[in-house]
Amino acid sequence: MDIGGSLSTARRGLGGAGTQTAGLGFGGLVPPGATPSAATEEYDGTSWTAGGSLTTARRQIAGCGTQTSALGFGGFIDGPGVVANTEEYDGSSWTSGGSLATARRALGAAGTQTSALGFGGQIAPEASTAATEAYNGTSWTADTSMSTARQFLGGAGTQTSALAFGGYTTAPVANTEEFTGGPSPVTKTVTAS
């Protein structure tokens, strides 16, 4: 694996979107005092440059979409805790979108800015959720829940053909769930050995 350019600001728990040559990183926690960040950085395949800042600084935010049409949602803010905020990025600035029905952090994501899926996550200290929500570019609606409630999971794919993998319940898990959207979304659990 080749090594790419370093982020301008070291941080953890950030959201991401885009591709290898047009990536986007946003939010997160900046050491040493672990300060929540609103910073956005854009990657061109070689180096990172500053983009427009999130409206709300937060960590453990989910992200999907492209560098010029991204979605950031959920997350954690010190004080209030988990949030339901959604923000849309147009390549230069973030604006508010419709809020998640269930506030959460460390959730999985798939899809695009106007056709996204958010699933799982932490809804309170030590409490995971299996809830899935679909975004249409304006608002979130409940969809078929995952079989296993978990947080800190990975997500990939589209709103109608997504993967949820790994994560944490009371211990790290290797489960993969496939989401097939449409009139009757279903999930299929594939447990890794």
> pTM of the full predicted structure?
0.92
pLDDT value at position 193? 37
Query: What is the arrangement of strands in the sheet containing 15-19, beginning at the earlier edge strand?
Result: 15-19, 22-26, 40-43, 48-50
Predicted confidence at residue 3, as pLDDT, reads 83
According to the model, what pLDDT value does residue 78 have?
87
Mean pLDDT (10-residue bins), the chain, 193 residues:
87 97 97 90 97 97 98 93 97 98 97 98 93 97 95 96 96 94 54 46
Q: Which domains does the chain have, with CATH numbers?
A: 15-190 (2.120.10.80)
SS3 sequence of the chain? CCCCCCCCCCCECCEEEEECCEEEEECCEECCCCEECCCEEEECCCCEEECCCCCCCCECCEEEEECCEEEEECCEECCCEECCCEEEECCCCEEECCCCCCCCECCEEEEECCEEEEECCEEECCEECCCEEEECCCCEEEECCCCCCCECCEEEEECCEEEEECCECCCECCCEEEEECCCCCEEEEECCC
Question: Distances in Å between the alpha carbon of 155 and those of 17, 36, 38, 96, 171?
Answer: 11, 23, 22, 23, 18
pLDDT for the residue numbered 185: 47
Query: Which pLDDT value is given to residue 177?
Result: 95
Per-residue pLDDT of 120-168, as tens digits, reads: 999 988 899 999 999 999 999 999 999 999 999 999 999 999 999 999 9
The residues pairing with 30 across neighbouring beta strands, listed in sequence order, are: 35
